[in-house]
Amino acid sequence: MTNNFSKTILDNLTTALVGLDSDLNIVYTNLAFEMLFDLSAKRALGISVQQLPLVEDRLMQLVKDVQSSGEPHTEWALELNLISGKRAIVDCSVTELEQEGKTQLIIELHQVDQHLKLANDEQRQEKVNSAKMLVRNLAHEIKNPLGGLRGAAQLLQREQTDPNLNEYTEIIVEEADRLSNLVNQLLGPNKPPEKRWINVHQVLERLVKLVTAEGLQKIDLVRDYDPSLPEVFVDHDQLFQACLNIVNNAIQAMGEKGTLTFRTRVCRNQVVASNTHALMVRLEISDTGSGIDPEIIDKIFLPMVTSRAQGTGLGLSISQALVDQQGGKIECKSRPGDTVFSILLPISSSQEGGDHAFQ
């Protein structure tokens, strides 16, 4: 094996590698290290590992333990604070090597936060799915007798001759209709999507028109579009409805004034319902409003979860069902002043969501 070939292999590992001499100075880094730490090999070589501003105490302790005992050691799920302000969770192994009479140490850092995030996402999704199933079953149970109730009230209306009693039967019919409307919303989209290739900017521009037509002068609208965005294969109206519910919430959360931002990007290697997509379109709707109440943030996609007195708690549950139908997914991040809903859509026409897109 040539040196070049070994270097190519080491640079293509997803594990970040750092080599240290006996004084704990960095003597080797691979490409994964440079990417994880956002630090070029040029700047890293020769400096002491302790000088890396991002190395946390547990990692240094691990290095010292291995140095004094000579035994290899691994720590799971170490949290690193990176220069970029981001955090990374890594499994970290430190091994001591003897080479030409000199002691060297190798640190391996394997980033695991993607896996942890996926596991959490899956758990959360399972909970949401079972709660949704419960609500759907309940809605079905209510729907049938409701039809009977309405029919019987109409019969009664025709049969009885006293006009004073009409008022009561009318109330029964009206309330049955109101309940039936609610139950239909709880049951979710009842039409299969009519998918075609569209540019998501068409959907966003329709939303822009609607927001501006409503005369919300104090809401600034920012468009941050990727003009080279590929088309997606979705139902235009269903995607529009999904976004509209999110935009309505954003406007309500901002109250008098704020900034509403529509951002589009391409993103790579995303997992949706166990399918990995090499490429997806990410459509973000963000607002500078109050932020989502932390008490309900894990539940906002469930039907009937609302913090508003007049709210039905159905908007986001409907949005999620509609986006699911397109083979995509919705994510949400929020802190006061910065709430972002992201809709990920597959760039593929396959019904399952396009696992073949993964090359």
Among the listed residues 30, 249, 275, 288, the single contact to Mg ion using CB under 5 A: 249
Closest CB to ligand ADP among 44 and 247?
247
Tokens found for residue 113 = 């936060």
E strand spans, the chain: 16-20, 26-29, 73-81, 87-99, 102-111, 196-198, 219-224, 232-234, 258-272, 275-287, 329-335, 338-346
Place of tokens 């006009």: 163
The pairing of strands 87-99 and 232-234 is unpaired
Pick from 168, 268, 283: which is nearest to 225 by CA? 283
Residue 293 touching ligand ADP (CB under 6 A): yes
Among the listed residues 26, 253, 323, 347, the single contact to ligand ADP using CB under 6 A: 253
Residue 342 touching ligand ADP (CB under 6 A): no
Closest CB to Mg ion among 50 and 184?
184
Judged by CB under 6 A, the chain residues 261 through 290 that form the site for ligand ADP are: 287, 289-290
Contact 304, 135 (CB under 8 A): yes
Residue 315 touching Mg ion (CB under 5 A): yes
Residue 249 touching ligand ADP (CB under 6 A): yes
Beta bridge partners of 341: 285, 332
The total of other beta-carbon atoms located within 10 Å of residue 315's CB is 23
Q: Which stretch binds ligand ADP (CB under 6 A): 27-35, 135-143, 144-152, 300-308?
A: 300-308
Number of residues that bind Mg ion (CB under 5 A): 2
Among the listed residues 156, 306, 338, 355, the single contact to ligand ADP using CB under 6 A: 306
Laid out side by side, the sheet with 26-29 consists of: 26-29, 16-20, 102-111, 87-99, 73-81
Q: Which stretch binds ligand ADP (CB under 6 A): 118-126, 221-229, 305-313, 321-329?
A: 305-313
Shortest Å distance, C-beta 183 to ligand ADP: 16
Distance in angstroms (rounded) separating the CA atoms of residues 352 and 332: 23
Closest CB to Mg ion among 169 and 249?
249
Among the listed residues 87, 196, 218, 308, the single contact to ligand ADP using CB under 6 A: 308
Pick from 237, 323, 346, 248: which is nearest to 289 by CA? 248
Residue 339 touching ligand ADP (CB under 6 A): yes
Shortest Å distance, C-beta 332 to ligand ADP: 8
239: left (phi over 0), alpha (psi -120 to 50) or beta: alpha
DSSP state, 129? H
Q: Please choose which of Mg ion, ligand ADP, none residue 105 contacts, taking the beta carbon within 5 to 8 angstroms, the exact cut-off set by kind.
A: none
Shortest Å distance, C-beta 286 to ligand ADP: 8
Tokens found for residue 343 = 């809709």
Q: Which stretch binds ligand ADP (CB under 6 A): 87-95, 170-178, 210-218, 245-253?
A: 245-253
Residue 337 touching ligand ADP (CB under 6 A): no
Pick from 220, 204, 211: which is nearest to 289 by CA? 220
Which residues are at the interface with ligand ADP (CB under 6 A)? 245, 249-250, 253, 287, 289-293, 296, 300, 305-308, 311-317, 339
Binding site for Mg ion (CB under 5 A): 249, 315
